[in-house]
Amino acid sequence: MSWPARLHVVTGKGGVGKTTVAAALALALAAGGNRVLLVEVEGRQGLAQLFDLEPLPYAERRLGDIDDDLRLLAVDPEEALLEYLDLFYKMGRAGRVLRKLGAIDFATTIAPGLRDILLTGKVKEATTRTDEAGRRLYHAVVLDAPPTGRIGRFLNVTAEAARLAKLGPIKSQSEGVAALLRSPMTSVHLVTLLEEMPVQETTDALAELTALHIPVGKIIVNAARPPLLSSRVTQAELKRGLAEAGLPTDRRTVTGLQSEAHAHLARQELEQQLRAELAHLKRPTVELPLLSDGVDLPGLQHLAALLRPR
Amino acid sequence: MVGFEVDAVLGDPAIRIVVCCGSGGVGKTTTAAALALRAAEQHGRRTVVLTIDPARRLAQSLGLTELDNTPRQVKDAPLYAMQLDMKRTFDEVVLTHTAPERAKEIFANPFYQAMSSTFAGTQEYMAMEKLGQLRAADEWDLIVVDTPPSRSALDFLDAPARLGRFLDGKMLRLLSGTARAGGRSMFNLVTASFGAFSKAVQKILGAQLLTDLSGFVSALDSMFGGFRERAEHTYRVLQDPQTAFVLVAAPEPDAVREAAYFASRLEEGRMPLAGLVLNRVHTSAVPELDAESSAAAAARLGEEGDTARVLRVHELLMRQVVRETEVAAHFTDRFPLVPVARVPAQPTDVHDIAGLRAIGDAF
Ligand SMILES: Nc1ncnc2c1ncn2[C@@H]1O[C@H](COP(=O)(O)OP(=O)(O)OP(=O)(O)O)[C@@H](O)[C@H]1O
Ligand SMILES: Nc1ncnc2c1ncn2[C@@H]1O[C@H](COP(=O)(O)OP(=O)(O)OP(=O)(O)O)[C@@H](O)[C@H]1O
Ligand SMILES: [Mg+2]
Ligand SMILES: [Mg+2]
């Protein structure tokens, strides 16, 4: 599997496994000693929960014994703005006043686009950061992004900035971010389940991102189950088989198991149909299995192994 | 565990509002539509369902092809359905509180445009607003409301308070106070802190923005009272016994945890919780054959044959049934008095009237 970009944006319908997949991808990319940053931007401490850590500060944090090369960061728009003001305008004091007044909260409330510019701006800064020798600090940055319903607006920073400011640093800042997001350095991956609504949202998001000239990477089918049945079974066959296995062969058992099998087949057929719909989108597609014990660290590492670059 | 007599709620003429709440993707919209259909068909009540962001195919089946805030009769059913148009509802609120000239200015303001379509909580607030309007018109025996797709069910109840906090916020008061004192002069205010603020904003955002901001803030200021009053009124309607909350959850840990938070919040807010709908529950037709025995039998048959595969399917199903029962018990242990209804998982998605009827029959 190849992961050509440097900034990997992971989106998908709510609850499909964005956070899980982003974490697995970050672990996969860090394998072999590459430094990788895994970022969340929605203020939910999803990464801390996933890795069973204390809430993350606004700082790039090591993952301890789990992985030496992976760093975690929860970006907060308020902190990002203060950092920005201080860095570019040496306005530390004004920043503190702003915060005390609730101005930052206010500004990001009435102009949600501003919040997105701050968040993506920080992601860009980390992605392009270099050391003294001019080498990139991070081999890759993986972003656990907002859901598909908001992803177009979130990534289309210039449009949002244009609504707010015709001139000035916000505008040029957003142009820099937009250039990165539209370059081959970026790849947006769409996570989905084999269910109708997530697949529909994947299709819609692909169209939206394509129209915005933002490069889409892979489609990642999460929590997939292998097909168990290949065709319908007759009651006579079932009855024979059950007898052979030493199980009851009364009518209720036979019809009951048969109806379960048929419901499973119906589901399986629907999933096949959804796979075909996804194949139609002509994007490289990866399937990750449903973890029967839920997502724990070994489970994550198992998913990471399946995503590992080769 | 107490069984949830859904028909008793739907058929009760004193119940005028049913609100379907729950965390993202659990089946709120589907349940709302199924309950409304049942109220209309089985109980003969003049019913409207207010849906929010329905799945495309369900919207088509309900005839919701236009997003225009108008109830329309569903084809082949005595039910009316509508889809919330958030921005239009916001615009309507503005229009009822301001002169047409002023409203036009507000609509053109970029901050208004951003906020009316993206402010976190706008959808929740506008859903309540629309519910308030429908109830006030008193044209319906029963209004069934879906709630917006948010991660947390609580967002629906918190939205009016959040809007209130925003309107009461220090920042808005400061800005609107100076706006009232003379519009454009607002940023000439020479308190030290405000000077710093103004300097920062000018530097980063430019001056045009300040004009827009000032316009927006004074517009909000003129609508203050109206906004708050309406939200509070609808909130009181939600506490009234004419309202029944139906909590929807999938039998998964996150959804059940959310449902428990929500149930406690309803208790605190003295809001009437009618019951919990556990949606997409798996059931087996042969529960006496447990997962282990089924797996063992499949192994005896050598895995490859048709019967062995069917037994594998049954094994997985039984594991799921056990897991779901455990998860659901977390809720019933904490809220033993809240009635529970189970709706089986249909093999495929529910997107037509027949599918909604099947869900209704499951109650
Ligand atoms: N492959 C998998 N196998 C089993 N469970 C999974 C798998 N992927 C995700 N899950 C579970 O599904 C739930 C949702 O996953 P996750 O939180 O990663 O989704 P998300 O898309 O980030 O959600 P949100 O939209 O709320 O941010 C979690 O409980 C997670 O443990
Ligand atoms: N009992 C059921 N069996 C099978 N599928 C179901 C069932 N209930 C709902 N679904 C399907 O689950 C999906 C989500 O349902 P629905 O849109 O009603 O959820 P929701 O809670 O309104 O979601 P959101 O939070 O996104 O608004 C839909 O595709 C729907 O057809
Ligand atoms: Mg997440
Ligand atoms: Mg919905």
Q: What is the CATH number of the domain that holds A180?
A: 3.40.50.300
The string of pLDDT tens digits covering residues A24-42 is 999 999 998 999 999 999 8
The Cα–Cα gap between A96 and A109 comes to 18
CB B250: neighbour CB atoms within 10 A?
Answer: 25
β-pair partners for A141: A7, A37
H or E element that contains A289 = strand A285-289
Q: From the CA of B23, how many Å to the nearest CA of chain A?
A: 10
As given in the structure block, the two tokens for residue A82 are 């203060």
The string of pLDDT tens digits covering residues B127-181 is 888 898 899 999 999 999 998 877 677 778 877 677 667 766 666 666 665 545 5
The Cα–Cα gap between B74 and B64 comes to 8
pLDDT of A147 strictly over 50: yes
A-B CB pairs within 8 A amount to: 175
Residue found by looking up tokens 């709120």 in the block: B28
Task: Calculate the alpha carbon distances from B264 to A145, B17, B272 in Å.
Answer: 31, 20, 11
Q: What is the pLDDT of residue A93?
A: 67
β-pair partners for A130: A136
Q: Is residue A137 domain-resident?
A: yes
The Cα–Cα gap between B71 and A33 comes to 60
Q: Is residue A114 domain-resident?
A: yes
Q: Is residue A253 domain-resident?
A: no
* Residue A130: domain span: 7-227+282-307
The string of pLDDT tens digits covering residues B79-92 is 999 998 888 888 88
- Residue identifier of the C-alpha nearest atom 12 of ligand 1: A17
Asked whether A233 and A261 are in contact (CB, 8 A), the reply is: yes
Q: What is the identity of the amino acid at A29?
A: L
Q: How far away, in angstroms, is A144 Cα from ligand 3 center?
A: 7
The residue of A45, A82, A101 whose CB has the most chain B CBs within 10 angstroms, and thus the best one to mutate to test that interface, is A101
Q: Where are the alpha helices (DSSP H) in chain B?
A: 6-10, 28-43, 56-61, 86-97, 100-108, 110-118, 122-137, 154-168, 170-180, 192-205, 207-239, 253-268, 291-300, 306-334, 353-362
Under DSSP, the state recorded for B140 is -
Give the residue-averaged pLDDT of A171-194. 93
* Residue A110 contacts B where some CB pair is shorter than 8 Å: yes
Ligand 2 atom closest to Cα of residue B146? 22
Q: How far away, in angstroms, is B150 Cα from ligand 4 center?
A: 9
From the number of C-beta atoms within 10 Å of its C-beta (0-12, 13-18, 19+), residue A250 rates as exposed
* Residue A87 contacts B where some CB pair is shorter than 8 Å: no
Share of chain A above pLDDT 90, in %: 64
Q: From the CA of B141, how many Å to the nearest CA of chain A?
A: 32
What are φ and ψ of residue A90, in 5° steps?
50, 45
Q: From the CA of B118, how many Å to the nearest CA of chain A?
A: 7
Q: What is the pLDDT of residue A78?
A: 81
Asked whether B219 and B109 are in contact (CB, 8 A), the reply is: yes
* Residue A273 contacts B where some CB pair is shorter than 8 Å: no
Q: Determine how β-strand B80-83 pairs with β-strand B72-73.
A: antiparallel
Q: How far away, in angstroms, is B253 Cα from ligand 1 center?
A: 11
Question: Under an 8 A CB cutoff, do B307 and A103 touch?
Answer: no
Nearest alpha carbon to residue B195 among A83, A94, A61, A28 = A94
Nearest alpha carbon to residue B83 among B49, B47, B125, B129 = B49
Ligand 1: residue of A16, A191, A295 to mutate (most ligand atoms within 8 A of CB) is: A295
The string of pLDDT tens digits covering residues A106-124 is 777 767 677 888 899 999 9
From the number of C-beta atoms within 10 Å of its C-beta (0-12, 13-18, 19+), residue B199 rates as middle
Q: What is the residue extent of each domain of chain B?
A: 6-157+237-286+330-362, 166-223
For chain B positions 53-72, those within 8 Å of chain A (CB to CB) are 55-57
Ligand 2 atom closest to Cα of residue B25? 23
Q: What is the pLDDT of residue B182?
A: 47
As given in the structure block, the two tokens for residue A72 are 């975690």
Q: How far away, in angstroms, is A46 Cα from ligand 3 center?
A: 6
How many Å separate Cα A16 from the centre of its chain? 9
Ligand of minimum distance to the alpha carbon of B25: 2
Q: Is residue A251 domain-resident?
A: no
Ligand 1: residue of A19, A142, A194 to mutate (most ligand atoms within 8 A of CB) is: A19
Count each helix (H run) and each strand (E run) in chain A, helices first.
13, 8
Ligand of minimum distance to the alpha carbon of A221: 1
Q: What is the pLDDT of residue B293?
A: 96
Q: What is the identity of the amino acid at A218?
A: K
- Residue identifier of the C-alpha nearest atom 23 of ligand 1: A15
pLDDT band at residue A167, thresholds of 50, 70 and 90? Answer: low
Highest-scoring range by mean pLDDT, A170-184, A217-231, B150-164? A217-231
How many Å separate Cα A101 from the centre of its chain? 34
Q: How many domains does chain A have?
A: 1
Q: What is the pLDDT of residue A118?
A: 86
Whole-model pTM: value is 0.88
Question: Under an 8 A CB cutoff, do A98 and B311 touch?
Answer: no
Asked whether A156 and A212 are in contact (CB, 8 A), the reply is: yes
The Cα–Cα gap between A293 and A221 comes to 18
Maximum Cα–Cα distance across chain A: 82
- Residue identifier of the C-alpha nearest atom 26 of ligand 1: A15
Under DSSP, the state recorded for A1 is -
For chain A positions 233-252, those within 8 Å of chain B (CB to CB) are 233, 237-238, 240-242, 244-248, 252
Nearest alpha carbon to residue B120 among B95, B93, B156, B174 = B156
* Residue A266 contacts B where some CB pair is shorter than 8 Å: yes
The Cα–Cα gap between B321 and B315 comes to 10
Please list the ranges in chain B whose pLDDT falls under 70: 1, 118-121, 151, 160, 163-164, 167-210, 221-222, 224-225
As given in the structure block, the two tokens for residue B297 are 């039998």
- Which residue on chain B is closest to A113 by alpha carbon? B114
Which one of B301, B312, B348 has the shortest CB-CB distance to A245?
Answer: B301
The Cα–Cα gap between A278 and A200 comes to 9
Q: How far away, in angstroms, is A15 Cα from ligand 1 center?
A: 6
* Residue A232 contacts B where some CB pair is shorter than 8 Å: no
How many Å separate Cα A250 from the centre of its chain? 49
Nearest alpha carbon to residue A16 among A205, A204, A224, A274 = A224
pLDDT band at residue A240, thresholds of 50, 70 and 90? Answer: very high
Q: What is the CATH number of domain B6-157+237-286+330-362?
A: 3.40.50.300
As given in the structure block, the two tokens for residue B257 are 């945890």
Nearest alpha carbon to residue B13 among B47, B59, B37 = B47
Q: What is the pLDDT of residue B203?
A: 63
What 3-state class would DSSP assign to B279?
A: strand
β-pair partners for A191: A12, A220
- The set of residues, in sequence order, having a beta carbon less than 8 Å from that of B79 and lying 6+ positions away, is B36, B37, B40, B41, B47, B48, B49, B73
Asked whether A16 and A192 are in contact (CB, 8 A), the reply is: yes
Which one of B297, B301, B310 has the shortest CB-CB distance to A261?
Answer: B310
What 3-state class would DSSP assign to A165?
A: coil
Question: Is A196 touching ligand 2 by the criterion CB < 6 Å?
Answer: yes
As given in the structure block, the two tokens for residue A270 are 């629907």
